[in-house]
Chains A and B, each alone.
Chain A
Amino acid sequence: MSEPVLTVEDLSVRIAGLHILQGVSFTVAPTGVTVLLGRNGVGKTTTLRAAVGLTPRNGEVRGTVRMGAQSLLSQRTHRLVRGGLGYVPEDRCVFAGLTVAENLRLAERRGSTPAYDRVFALFPELDRRSRQRAGSLSGGQQQMLAIGRVLLNDNRLLLVDEPTKGLAPKVVTEVAEVLERVAESVPVLLVEQNLAVVRRLARDAVVLAAGRVAWTGDAQELLLETALTRSLLGVGSAEGHQPAGPAADRQPTGTAVDRVADHPATAASAPEDGS
């Protein structure tokens, strides 16, 4: 078996007194999409942000996160990103007051040639709207810009946080198609609530519950196990019985039944000692 691109060992994060992650361990395969699943508030975004060095200053991070042999937790965010860790945050975080071209220019890295051809091949819309302010783009276009910014450079791993959140079903499909193509060349650790998207993209799955890893394994197997998906993710039956089939035949729809249940954050009420 090939070496994982990302290794998370015993990762614990406390923020403002809340023990959000309590000894999380998992690996990300060097190819394809690994999806991080779980109900709201279990620590998925916290995991990604800890890996990329964006835990708030009042937070405390313990454990190990390695990309290959490189330890991530001791380094500052901009160095990690320059080292090939691409990050697409939840809610896009495009710079609303800057144009599309300026948003992309900001992502250029010194010493490497920006791959505008790659970005515009995937998102021709960005080329056409290069002089438009990012704040006036639709949610889907903003998501394309957020993904386009990281694709401007070669990366060793992409961390992508809920890329389909709040998007129309048609746009969800477009984003999923793009991520599918991206994952052919670079491994992706994806946080996603839309199980149709997960079914289409993910090979491996890590499920978090109350700040801990509750399940790891084959994503398609997980989705076939109705009882398991219901207990871990709070979602219903029909999705679990659908055949996996070829990826191209499985269109993400983004309907309500497809989404991981929105439950209150269980980690917030977890015991402080992590027991």
Chain B
Amino acid sequence: MDAIILLTLTGLGLAALYFLVASGLSLVFGLADVLNFAHGLFLGVGAYATWWAAGNLPGAGPDGLGFVVAVAFGVAAGTLMAVLVELVLIRPLYSRTIEQVLVTVGLSLAGVALLQATWGADARPFPRPAWTREVTSIFGAQVPNGGLLLIVAATLVLGGILAFLRWTRYGLIIRAGVENREMVTALGIDVRKAFTLVFAIGGAAAALAGALGSVYFGTVSPQQGGSLLIFAFIVVVIGGMGSVVGSAYAAVAVGLLQQFVNYYGTSGLGDICVVALLAVVLLLRPQGIAGKAVTA
């Protein structure tokens, strides 16, 4: 029983990480039709900026309020990066899918190379509060606090995004734009501002995933974003392009499936099962769990 609780909560922790990366990816694809392979870079920038800030930024540090400041710095850096990428590289290429893929894949590779050239290819220890290294006993299971932190953060981000989509004018524009972008412009709305905004939201969530994922794993490495991005794409496809709620459900399914199969089966079998789940969803429900609609 302890093992099931532990696997469930660590699976949800993993799901939280996937959701943080996938939510922005899903919104960007749903609204702007951009398949952003550079999304993992936002995660890397967030992680490294947090790591750097904890050691160098005045007021920031590895513990207490200083850690909050470091994470905020990392999130701000990831957001800024996402906005710059949208404005400088993506905006001139809207509706040119192949060029977008080439540019975002190239940027992703160049970004990883830049991180490696600057801080080395090896994983580095990540400064983190002492309590995140400890465990909490839940119904007898010793659950890592880093995983619980991810679950809490992802839940808050999910609630925040849904409230934003439900209650703000830009949220309304994004929900409408996912359905019919052209009609939004035909109502006199400059939809490009919404594109920039979803990139910013996605960049912030991915950067938060980078910072808190590094807390969970205890290290930061340049390849971190790329490996998580693969599963984030799977989550987006299973959840349905443009659906934040769909991404949340899909992330939970993928995270739990991975954890349980890897534990009760062979290590690595969980990843194969996730790909099998993707194939089943694509065959039975190609539009994903929630289809192309932003749910608020």
Contacts and interface: CB of A to CB of B under 8 A. Distances in A.
B98 interface: no
A25 to B, nearest CB: 24
Given A81-B187, A95-B176, A54 B182 contact: yes
Nearest to B182: A54
Contacts of B189: 78, 106
Contacts of A93: 180, 183, 186
B190 A95 contact: no
A30 B185 CA distance: 25
Nearest to A152: B187
A233 B105 CA distance: 52
A87 interface: yes
Contacts of B186: 52, 54, 77, 81, 87, 89, 93
B129 to A, nearest CB: 41
A109 interface: yes
A97 B179 contact: yes
Contacts of A52: 186
B172 A98 contact: yes
Contacts of B190: 76, 78
Interface in B189-240: 189-191
A161 to B, nearest CB: 11
B128 interface: no
A3 to B, nearest CB: 24
A149 interface: yes
Contacts of B179: 95-98
A196 B276 CA distance: 57
Contacts of B294: 97
Contacts of A106: 172-173, 176, 184, 187, 189
B293 A149 contact: no
A154 interface: no
A170 interface: no
A129 interface: no
Contacts of B176: 95, 98, 102-103, 106
A76 B179 CA distance: 20
A239 to B, nearest CB: 33
B265 interface: no
B58 interface: no
Nearest to B189: A78
Query: How many A residues touch the partner, as a band?
Result: 20 to 34
Nearest to A94: B183
Query: How many B residues touch the partner, as a band?
Result: 20 to 34
B175 interface: yes
Contacts of A149: 187
B130 to A, nearest CB: 46
Given A98-B175, A98-B176, A78 B188 contact: yes
A93 B176 CA distance: 11
A106 B188 CA distance: 9
A118 interface: no
A82 interface: yes
B137 interface: no
B267 interface: no
B95 interface: yes
A82 B185 CA distance: 10
Contacts of A87: 186
A241 interface: no
Interface string A209-231: 00000000000000000000000
Contact of A57 (B95, B175, B191): B95
Nearest to B191: A78
A168 interface: no
Interface in A88-134: 89, 93, 95-98, 102-103, 105-107, 109
B194 to A, nearest CB: 11
A78 B185 contact: yes
Nearest to A80: B188
A107 B180 CA distance: 14
A167 to B, nearest CB: 19
Interface in B148-195: 169, 172-173, 175-176, 179-180, 182-191
A77 B95 CA distance: 16
Interface in A180-211: none
B296 to A, nearest CB: 9
Contact of B183 (A82, A89, A97): A89
A107 B187 contact: yes
Given A57-B95, A96-B179, A109 B188 contact: yes
Interface in A32-81: 52, 54, 57, 76-78, 81
Interface of A: 52, 54, 57, 76-78, 81-82, 87, 89, 93, 95-98, 102-103, 105-107, 109, 149, 153
Given A93-B180, A97-B175, A97-B294, 17 more contacts: A52-B186, A57-B95, A76-B185, A78-B187, A81-B185, A81-B186, A81-B187, A81-B188, A93-B186, A95-B175, A95-B176, A95-B183, A105-B172, A106-B173, A106-B176, A106-B189, A107-B187
The 8 A-B pairs with the shortest beta carbon distances in the complex, nearest first, are A81-B188, A77-B185, A82-B188, A93-B183, A57-B95, A95-B176, A97-B293, A107-B187
